[in-house]
Amino acid sequence: MSRLVEINNLRKYFPIRSGLFGKIVGHVKAVDGITFSVGQSEVVSLVGESGSGKTTIAKCLLLLERPTSGEILFDGYNITEARGKEYRDYRRSVQAVFQNPFLSLDPRMNVHDIISEPVKNHMKLSRKELYEYVSKLLEMVGLDQSFLEKFPHELSGGQAQRVAIARAISLNPKLVILDEPTSALDVSIQAQILNLLAELKEKMNLSYLLITHDLSIVRYISDRVLVIYLGKIMEEAPTEKIFKEPLHPYTQTLLTSVPDPFAKDVREKVILRGEPPSPTNPPKACRFHTRCPHVMDVCREEEPPEIQFGEKHRTYCWLHVKK
């Protein structure tokens, strides 16, 4: 599998300003040294709680934020330095679907205009061709032509999310960033949308970067999972391995926190105490040590090294360091 996106040691610090002259008094370390890659037609999930920095990574990829340091390579070129044709190509190749479709769709545009906006920018089509193109896209996401004239407020949550997906795939992108695509939807609709996304991936050979705090939806759709906490990777593994042998205590607690009516007897519940600490002043050494049920002295003193477990499975935890 060739690599589509490579993220090397990405950092994004947001300055905290205070006082009359806006003196910088500190930094929110939203993303603090993250390295991973997404392969061609691969689905990679970023999993973590609020404040873990998962959405900031997405924003850096979408060029909505400029990374503080580190590089993002797409098809071999560095996107933060891309200009001209490369830049236009990049914008076209990477699209996003966000959590709340009613916030990401313009309430004053109808469905046809919403979907055709990016198409008009990047392709030269006559009005009739454009209409046909948009109808075809709608069909691909499971809506019929009667929706073309509708406005976002006339749609249900699931329908609106389908429109947002149609817009995202309208330019044949290579990578689609899905930022909590089903969190705002009901369970029965969530299943419909997940199936649609899986189907589109096969049909259009897409890669996804799925961002979610809910590990249960990850299993259906993703090939590889990265668990992040306070801007750092805790564990990375192929999806099945994350579910079968989670190594990091944080991954284990995330897994058992998902309310699953069918797994009640299968697993022991671990409830995390306390809230995630502030990323302004994250805990020293291992960032998880303040909430970790297995904390040891060394966890408070030294940052855990990267430990490889078989192929493609890595974690950062002192528990797994052999003495």
C-beta closer to other proteins: residue 51 or 67: 51
Q: Report how far residue 87's alpha carbon sits from residue 82's, in angstroms, rounded to the nearest whole number.
A: 5
x-or-dash string of contact with other proteins, 175-194, rule CB under 8 A: -----------xxxxxxx-x
CA distances from 252 to 49, 268, 308 (A): 14, 10, 18
- Smallest gap from Cβ 264 to other proteins, in A, equals 7
- Using the rule CB under 8 A, which residue among 85, 127, 153, 264 binds other proteins? 264
Q: Report how far residue 279's alpha carbon sits from residue 300's, in angstroms, rounded to the nearest whole number.
A: 17
- Using the rule CB under 8 A, which residue among 139, 149, 154, 260 binds other proteins? 260
Instruction: Name the segment binding other proteins (CB under 8 A); options: 1-9, 30-38, 98-106, 273-281.
Output: 273-281
CB 110 within 8 A of CB 149: yes
- Smallest gap from Cβ 297 to other proteins, in A, equals 23
Q: Report how far residue 253's alpha carbon sits from residue 292's, in angstroms, rounded to the nearest whole number.
A: 9
Instruction: Name the segment binding other proteins (CB under 8 A); options: 75-83, 95-103, 120-128, 259-267.
Output: 259-267
C-beta closer to other proteins: residue 125 or 204: 204
- Number of Cβ atoms within 10 Å of the Cβ of 133: 16
- Using the rule CB under 8 A, which residue among 27, 213, 313, 314 binds other proteins? 213
Q: Report how far residue 63's alpha carbon sits from residue 44's, in angstroms, rounded to the nearest whole number.
A: 19
C-beta closer to other proteins: residue 119 or 210: 210
Q: Which of residues 233-252 bind other proteins (CB under 8 A)?
A: 240, 243
- Is position 85 an interface residue for other proteins (rule: CB under 8 A)? no
- Is position 274 an interface residue for other proteins (rule: CB under 8 A)? yes
x-or-dash string of contact with other proteins, 155-174, rule CB under 8 A: -xxxx---------------
Tell which residue, 69, 126, 60, 53, has the closest CA to residue 94.
60
- Smallest gap from Cβ 61 to other proteins, in A, equals 22
Sheet containing 207-212: give its strands across: 94-97, 175-179, 207-212, 43-47, 224-229, 232-238, 314-315, 307-308
Q: Which of residues 112-151 bind other proteins (CB under 8 A)?
A: none
Q: Which of residues 216-235 bind other proteins (CB under 8 A)?
A: 216-217, 219-220
Which residue(s) pair with 313 in the sheet?
Answer: none
- Smallest gap from Cβ 210 to other proteins, in A, equals 13
x-or-dash string of contact with other proteins, 280-319, rule CB under 8 A: ----------------------------------------
C-beta closer to other proteins: residue 115 or 194: 194
Q: What are phi and psi of 8, to 5 degrees?
A: -115, 115
Own/partner pairs for 143-152, CB < 8 Å, 24+ apart? 143/111, 147/111, 148/110, 148/111, 148/112, 149/110, 149/111, 149/112, 150/110, 150/111, 151/107, 151/108, 151/109, 151/110, 151/111, 152/101, 152/102, 152/105, 152/106, 152/107, 152/109, 152/111, 152/114
- Using the rule CB under 8 A, which residue among 3, 6, 8, 49 binds other proteins? 49
The tokens for 108 are 């004053």
C-beta closer to other proteins: residue 76 or 274: 274
- Smallest gap from Cβ 270 to other proteins, in A, equals 9
CB 245 within 8 A of CB 307: no
**3-state secondary structure at position 239:** helix
Give residues in contact with other proteins (CB under 8 A). Answer: 49-50, 156-159, 186-192, 194-195, 198, 213-217, 219-220, 240, 243, 253-264, 266-267, 269, 271-275
